[in-house]
């Protein structure tokens, strides 16, 4: 079994997922981060999360320039990609297990730009590395998340929380540490695990499914505020997005693309295919159970 370093790359690394993933993976191998423009900030985030003994200095590299990646990948046995599209050639990835984080709903033919870009990223990954493992999470929650925290903050200023289209679309929030644990399991390079997940797509969801309206109600329950959850037509959301997406991004930003995604469920497909593998089976096989929203979110909402 290879014990080389794990390389984690992508701008999203400084968010919740990246640091949690780094902490989990560092239990079995050293970690090195890649940042296109801020390796010093990335180093600071890493060193506050995991022991220095488990770190290589973070490097500056650009995934759009494969020649900058080759020296970093040279001694790696695992590459964890948090970026939308990964360019490169097989030569850069030879001998490396690639784990790519995508999103449920990824589809390069989707009219939704976010889903389309995620689908294009998946195709690019498999073109480069057919044995890669792709993880598609639903909403990711955890103390630093940008979803539950954001709507909790919005409830301080808005007289209500919105539920576009009645808030009937369904979501399956997944704990960031559960995703990190799955990545750590895959990154062990255990031959039995690799045989099950190589070349597969793993859709990652938690143990509960909620409608959008139910999630807004959870936010209000756990931050202790009394606000109505008001249904708004999708057309109103699209108009709001058309205006707000022209302004600098802020707490109140919403885009037409984001509103469009709320027309669709964001849950794990329970009909397995030859290209899929079960997120729950992967964790349960290692004696790790899925974490409930109710066990974590009340600890950090305010």
Q: What is the pLDDT of residues 234-251, one digit of tens each?
A: 999 999 999 999 999 899
57 and 91 share a domain?
yes
**Is residue 218 assigned to a domain?**
yes
Contacts of 293 (CB under 8 A, 6+ apart): 141, 173, 175, 206, 208, 210, 218
**Is 225 found in the same domain as 119?**
no
Query: 237 and 91, same structural domain?
Result: no
Asked whether residue 213 falls in the same domain as residue 276, the answer is no
pTM to 2 decimals? 0.90
What pLDDT is recorded for position 99? Answer: 93
Does one domain contain both 191 and 57? Answer: yes
Q: What is the CATH number of the domain that holds 286?
A: 3.40.50.720
Residue 231: beta bridge partners?
Answer: 163
Q: Model confidence over 172-208: pLDDT tens digits? A: 999 999 999 999 999 998 999 999 999 999 999 999 9
265: closest CA among 168, 163, 135?
168
Parent domain of 38: 5-141+174-205+267-290
* 3-state SS, one letter per residue, for 218-261: HHHHHHCCCCCEEEECHHHHHHHHHHHCCCCCCCCCCCHHHHHH
In a domain, 243, yes or no: yes
- Looking at residue 95, its pLDDT comes to 60
Q: Is residue 297 included in any domain, yes or no?
A: no
Which pLDDT tens digit goes with each residue over 101-143? 999 999 999 999 999 999 999 998 999 889 999 999 999 999 9
DSSP bridge partners of 32: 7
Q: Which residue has the higher pLDDT, 14 or 118?
A: 118
Number of domains observed in the structure of the chain: 2
Q: Is residue 256 part of a domain?
A: yes
Which of these ranges, 5-19, 25-39, 210-224, 282-296, has the smallest mean pLDDT?
5-19
**282/217 same-domain check:** no
Counting residues of the chain whose pLDDT is more than 90, the rounded percentage is: 65
Q: What's the confidence (pLDDT) of residue 123? A: 93
Same domain, 218 and 81: no
- What is the per-residue pLDDT across 243-287, written as a single tens digit (0 to 9) for each? 999 999 899 999 999 999 999 999 999 887 888 999 999 999 899
55 and 103 part of one domain: yes
For residue 13, pLDDT over 70 is answered with: no
The answer to whether 96 and 62 have CB atoms below 8 angstroms apart is: no
- The whole-angstrom separation of Cα 48 and Cα 139 is 25
Instruction: List the one residue out of 182, 280, 104 whose CA is nearest residue 112.
Output: 104
Q: In a 3-state reduction of DSSP, which class is residue 91?
A: helix
Residue 58 sits in the same domain as residue 152? no
C-alpha to C-alpha distance for 221 and 141, rounded to whole angstroms: 16
Distance CA 199, CA 210 (A): 30
Does 295 reside within a domain? Answer: no
Question: Please, which pLDDT band fits residue 88 given cuts at 50, 70 and 90?
Answer: very low
In a domain, 133, yes or no: yes
Residue 229 within a domain? yes
Q: Is the pLDDT of residue 1 over 70?
A: no
Average pLDDT over residues 148-160: 97
Say yes or no: 183 and 252 in one domain.
no
Q: Kindly give, in sequence order, each residue whose CB lies less than 8 Å from that of residue 246, ignoring residues fewer than 6 positions away.
A: none
Same structural domain for residues 77 and 156? no
Confidence class of residue 15 from pLDDT cuts 50, 70 and 90? low
Q: Does one domain contain both 48 and 187?
A: yes
pLDDT for position 229: 98
153 part of a folded domain: yes
């Amino acid at each position: 079994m290879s014990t080389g370093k794990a390389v984690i790359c992508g701008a999203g690394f400084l968010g919740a997922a990246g640091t949690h993933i780094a902490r989990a993976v560092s239990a079995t191998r050293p970690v090195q981060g890649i940042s296109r423009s801020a390796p010093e900030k990335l180093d600071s985030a890493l060193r506050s999360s995991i022991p220095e003994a488990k770190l290589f200095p973070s490097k500056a590299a650009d995934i759009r320039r494969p020649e900058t990646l080759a020296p970093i990948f040279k001694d790696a046995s695992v590459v964890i990609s948090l970026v939308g599209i990964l360019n490169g050639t097989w030569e850069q990835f030879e001998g490396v297990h690639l784990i790519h984080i995508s999103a449920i709903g990824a589809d390069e033919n989707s009219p939704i730009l976010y889903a389309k870009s995620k689908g294009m990223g998946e195709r690019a990954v498999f073109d480069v590395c057919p044995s890669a493992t792709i993880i598609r999470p639903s909403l990711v929650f955890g103390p630093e998340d940008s979803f539950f925290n954001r709507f909790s903050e919005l409830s301080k200023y808005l007289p209500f929380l919105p539920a576009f289209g009645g808030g009937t679309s369904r979501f399956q929030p997944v704990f960031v540490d559960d995703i990190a644990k799955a990545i750590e399991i895959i990154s062990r390079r255990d031959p039995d695990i690799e045989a099950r997940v190589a070349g597969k797509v793993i859709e990652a969801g938690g143990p509960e499914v909620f409608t959008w309206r139910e999630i807004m109600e959870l936010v209000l329950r756990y931050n202790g505020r009394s606000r109505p959850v008001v249904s708004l037509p999708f057309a109103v959301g699209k108009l709001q997005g058309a205006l707000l997406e022209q302004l600098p991004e802020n707490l109140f930003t919403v885009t037409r693309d984001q509103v469009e995604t709320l027309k669709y469920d964001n849950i794990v497909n329970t009909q397995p295919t030859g290209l899929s593998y079960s997120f729950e089976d992967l964790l349960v096989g290692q004696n790790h159970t899925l974490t409930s929203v109710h066990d974590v979110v009340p600890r950090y909402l305010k």
